[in-house]
């Protein structure tokens, strides 16, 4: 059994100041009203160009982000690596819609691949499809809506951006994750991800698609992918539960179509753990990253490796968490010799605000998560006091 309760290891690189900041942040976020008030206030202040950058930078940004640039994230990269935790540099400018923004995200992703290719401490790169293409266009592609001449041009530009990323990843031997998003654009994402896997995963898994196990059709999707890839290419998969649960339910309700996500948490957990089993049973053809803050799923994956006699640090199997969250999982897994990495979001403060707001909202909405973070911080503060 992994001892996730070893808080000395979990917070080994956190100063008392770090712990106090985390305590006040998570305490604040745990109150939905206060959290809503603060996120609303931040949105308004940024819209009005009020000088709140330094406050955000010293608090929520410091907890969840590496820096404004790749260079500024170096301190975090090195700090994590002291505990043998790898970094996944994640350019987190979200909700952008112009060609210049897409080209900027492309440039950043390429730079992160170049950096990963010369760094032992950066095992993966990542990109979000909506960072490279308009959401509305992805939706049209998803729905096979007829495209205007301009849409066609933008679609080709988007596909070229994705291909440029995957080609560089292949040439530099760097694995790259394609993040999963809302179900109403996910078929379009799966389609290009499958194409890229077929093209660049012929020798090993370098391109990873993401599967959200809160969806009620993803186990079938995984089986279909296994069938389709047989003897043709390796599969790279990041397994997550899914970040848009409320939006999925709401949209299905508003538009009167069958809800694509599970309604019971236990169903999502069951499918997540099933997917872990399926992947490990096919490990000769699949490489996986378990992107989760869930202790049970992390333990189940560790047990599966043990049962199948797979080395803990087999490079086809990674655990991954987000910077600033679930250090008790990351640090204790790494201490036990498993491969661990953290998403390290970076970017200008105003651009990463949607990411930070999502963290705040997620942390108030996930039953259990907030409690876990807070309890661990309080217990560690107490442990240090008792020394």
Ligand X SMILES: Cc1cc2nc3c(=O)[nH]c(=O)nc-3n(C[C@H](O)[C@H](O)[C@H](O)COP(=O)(O)OP(=O)(O)OC[C@H]3O[C@@H](n4cnc5c(N)ncnc54)[C@H](O)[C@@H]3O)c2cc1C
Q: Which of 233, 369, 376, 380 binds ligand X (CB under 6 A)?
A: 369
Told to check if 364 binds ligand X by CB under 6 A, we report: no
Name the residue nearer to ligand X (CB basis): 206 or 323.
Answer: 323
Q: How many other β-carbons are positioned within 10 Å of the β-carbon of residue 40?
A: 11
Helix (H, G, I), strand (E, B) or coil at 146: coil
Min separation Cβ 359 and ligand X, Å: 10
Told to check if 63 binds ligand X by CB under 6 A, we report: no
DSSP state of 51: S
Q: Which residues of 191-220 are buried (b: 16+ CB within 10 A; e: fewer)?
A: ebbbebbeebbeeebbbbbbbbbbbbebbe
Name the residue nearer to ligand X (CB basis): 96 or 384.
Answer: 96
Name the residue nearer to ligand X (CB basis): 50 or 86.
Answer: 86
Residue 362 CA to residue 305 CA, distance in Å, equals 30
Name the residue nearer to ligand X (CB basis): 168 or 249.
Answer: 249
Name the residue nearer to ligand X (CB basis): 214 or 346.
Answer: 214
Told to check if 218 binds ligand X by CB under 6 A, we report: no
Told to check if 109 binds ligand X by CB under 6 A, we report: no
Q: What does the DSSP assignment read for 2-46?
A: --TT-HHHHTTT--HHHHHHHHHHHHHHTSHHHHHHHHHHHHHHH
Helix (H, G, I), strand (E, B) or coil at 138: helix
Q: Which of 14, 134, 215, 241 binds ligand X (CB under 6 A)?
A: 241
Told to check if 155 binds ligand X by CB under 6 A, we report: no
Selected range binding ligand X among 79-87, 102-110, 154-162, 235-243, rule: CB under 6 A: 235-243
Told to check if 38 binds ligand X by CB under 6 A, we report: no
Told to check if 86 binds ligand X by CB under 6 A, we report: no
Return the closest-CA partner of residue 278 out of 213, 322, 330, 182.
213
DSSP state of 336: T
Name the residue nearer to ligand X (CB basis): 206 or 289.
Answer: 289
Q: Which of residues 323-352 bind ligand X (CB under 6 A)?
A: 343
Name the residue nearer to ligand X (CB basis): 266 or 386.
Answer: 266
Q: Which of residues 243-302 bind ligand X (CB under 6 A)?
A: 243-245, 262-265, 267-268, 291-294
Min separation Cβ 171 and ligand X, Å: 24
Name the residue nearer to ligand X (CB basis): 154 or 182.
Answer: 182
- Helix H segments across the chain? 7-10, 16-29, 32-47, 53-58, 60-64, 74-82, 99-117, 135-143, 149-172, 183-200, 218-229, 245-255, 265-281, 295-308, 327-335, 349-365, 369-386
Cβ atoms of 317 and 281 within 8 Å: the answer is no
Name the residue nearer to ligand X (CB basis): 41 or 263.
Answer: 263
Return the closest-CA partner of residue 238 out of 292, 277, 293.
292
Min separation Cβ 29 and ligand X, Å: 14
Told to check if 380 binds ligand X by CB under 6 A, we report: no
Token pair 């080709």 is at which residue?
156
Told to check if 212 binds ligand X by CB under 6 A, we report: yes
Q: Which of residues 169-188 bind ligand X (CB under 6 A)?
A: 179-180
What is the distance of C-alpha 231 from the center of its chain?
29
DSSP state of 256: T
Min separation Cβ 346 and ligand X, Å: 15
Q: Which of 92, 321, 332, 364 binds ligand X (CB under 6 A)?
A: 321
Min separation Cβ 94 and ligand X, Å: 12
Cβ atoms of 124 and 341 within 8 Å: the answer is yes
Q: Which of 142, 210, 334, 363 binds ligand X (CB under 6 A)?
A: 210
Cβ atoms of 89 and 127 within 8 Å: the answer is no
Name the residue nearer to ligand X (CB basis): 102 or 343.
Answer: 343
Residue 90 CA to residue 48 CA, distance in Å, equals 27
Residue 116 CA to residue 77 CA, distance in Å, equals 11
Residue nearest ligand X, Cβ-based: 291
Q: Which of 66, 86, 236, 242 binds ligand X (CB under 6 A)?
A: 242
Cβ atoms of 307 and 336 within 8 Å: the answer is no
Residues in contact with ligand X by the rule CB under 6 A? 179-180, 210, 212, 214, 240-245, 262-265, 267-268, 291-294, 320-322, 343, 366, 369
């Amino acid at each position: 059994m992994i001892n996730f309760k070893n808080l000395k290891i979990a917070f080994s690189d956190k100063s008392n100041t770090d712990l106090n900041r985390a305590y006040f942040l998570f305490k604040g976020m745990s109150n939905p009203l206060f959290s809503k008030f603060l996120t609303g206030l931040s949105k308004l202040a940024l819209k009005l160009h009020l000088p709140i950058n330094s406050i955000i930078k010293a608090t929520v940004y410091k907890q969840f982000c590496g820096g404004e640039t790749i260079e500024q994230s170096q301190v975090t990269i090195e700090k994590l690596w002291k505990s043998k935790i790898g970094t996944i540099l994640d350019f987190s400018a979200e909700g952008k819609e112009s060609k210049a923004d897409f080209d900027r995200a492309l440039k950043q992703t390429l730079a992160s691949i170049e950096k990963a290719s010369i760094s032992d401490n950066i095992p993966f790169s990542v990109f979000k499809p909506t960072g490279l293409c308009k959401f509305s266009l992805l939706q049209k592609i998803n729905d096979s809506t007829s495209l205007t001449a301009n849409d066609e041009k933008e679609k080709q530009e988007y596909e070229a951006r994705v291909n440029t990323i995957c080609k560089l990843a292949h040439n530099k031997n760097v694995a790259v994750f394609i993040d999963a998003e809302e179900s109403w654009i996910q078929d379009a994402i799966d389609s290009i991800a499958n194409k890229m896997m077929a093209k660049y995963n012929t020798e090993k898994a370098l391109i990873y698609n993401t599967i959200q196990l809160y969806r009620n059709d993803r186990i079938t999707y995984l089986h279909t992918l296994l069938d389709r890839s047989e003897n043709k290419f390796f599969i790279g998969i990041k397994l997550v539960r899914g970040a848009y649960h409320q939006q999925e339910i709401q949209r299905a309700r508003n538009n009167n179509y069958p809800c694509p996500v599970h309604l019971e948490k236990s169903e999502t957990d069951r499918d997540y753990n099933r997917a872990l089993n399926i992947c490990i049973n096919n490990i000769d053809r699949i490489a996986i990253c378990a992107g989760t803050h869930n202790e049970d799923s992390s333990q189940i994956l560790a047990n599966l490796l043990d049962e199948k006699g797979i080395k803990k640090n087999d490079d086809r199997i990674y655990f991954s968490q987000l910077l600033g969250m679930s250090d008790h999982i990351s640090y204790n897994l790494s201490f036990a010799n498993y491969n661990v990495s953290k998403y390290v979001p970076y970017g200008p403060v105003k651009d990463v605000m949607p990411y930070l707001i999502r963290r705040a909202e997620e942390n108030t909405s996930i039953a259990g998560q907030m409690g876990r973070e807070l309890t661990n911080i309080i217990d560690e503060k107490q442990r240090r006091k008792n020394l």
